[in-house]
Amino acid sequence: MPELPEVECTRRRIAPDVEGRRILEFASLWPRKVFPSEGELSRRVQGQKIRPLQRHGKRLILPLSDGSAVTVHLGMSGNLEFHRHPPREQRHLRAMFSLSRGKLLFFDARKFGRIEWHPSLEAARAGLGPDALDPALTASAFGSALAKTRRPVKSALLDQSLVAGVGNIYSDEALFHARIHPLAPASSLTPARLARLFRAVRAVLRASVCRQGTSIDWVWPGGRMQHHLLVYGRTGEPCARCGAAIRHLVIGQRSCHFCARCQPPRTPRTPQGHRRRTSG
């Protein structure tokens, strides 16, 4: 699934061709994934100019000249492409914005993506936590968000309402770099370990953006990060750090890859002011 780096790379790739263009028409070949409806979205965006593109987490945002916005969720296999002329190959084409010059096309093989109109930029970001690469996000705020839940830290990282942008691939990689077991309750992590995880998340996401994302199981073939993943998708292979076999487990119906030697489970921290009892 495209995560923050892949969506950011998509934004950078199409921005020069679509920003400042006027939307002449919108049409969808898969209207059940257009909200509030194909007709309503088409009516709302027609005649609007596309302002500088934004991204929040995995959500690509097309701000419009009247203050409204369109969000594109790439889902499992979605991709946006700009074409000056309609391409010959239109397999998996699901929607099209006809612009004052060229067309913005949405391809989606698995049909999990969605396009949605919002009355404001604030509404376009509704339900999302702070962006994982937002310069204003601090280690303290990141840690406070995750420490609110007793769920496994792997599940907490995937919760877009806590911090937006991290998915299955980069949560595995960040936890490995931070040496944190994926089943550790998020609320049990010390501030120091949460700060280390914060730095790992940022480092992994930035590295992936620099390498044009990860090209695994989706249609955009331009990424190189898949050659630098240390645990994701490497079940049974030796750990690059210690040589132990990479393990796989399922947490909340999501696959997880980790090194049990480099990421050992730890005893939860004792609340301040309390001491653990010892036998004898």
Hey, which residues are catalytic here?
A: 2-3, 58, 254
- Residue 49 has, within 13 A of its CA and on its CB side, a CA count of 6
Q: What is the spatial order of strands in the sheet that 78-83 belongs to?
A: 23-28, 93-99, 103-108, 78-83
What is the SS3 assignment for 247? strand
> Tokens 């699901």 appear where?
94
Radius of gyration (C-alpha) of the chain in whole angstroms: 21
Look at residues 91, 75, 4, 65 and name the one whose alpha carbon lies nearest to residue 33: 75
How far apart are the C-alpha atoms of 151 and 279, rounded to whole Å? Answer: 29
Identity of the amino acid at 203: A
How far apart are the C-alpha atoms of 122 and 105, rounded to whole Å? Answer: 25
In this structure, how many other beta carbons lie within 10 angstroms of the beta carbon of residue 25?
13
- Residue 103 has, within 13 A of its CA and on its CB side, a CA count of 16
Look at residues 236, 230, 241, 240 and name the one whose alpha carbon lies nearest to residue 207: 230
Structure tokens of 85? Answer: 């002329």
What is the SS3 assignment for 41? helix
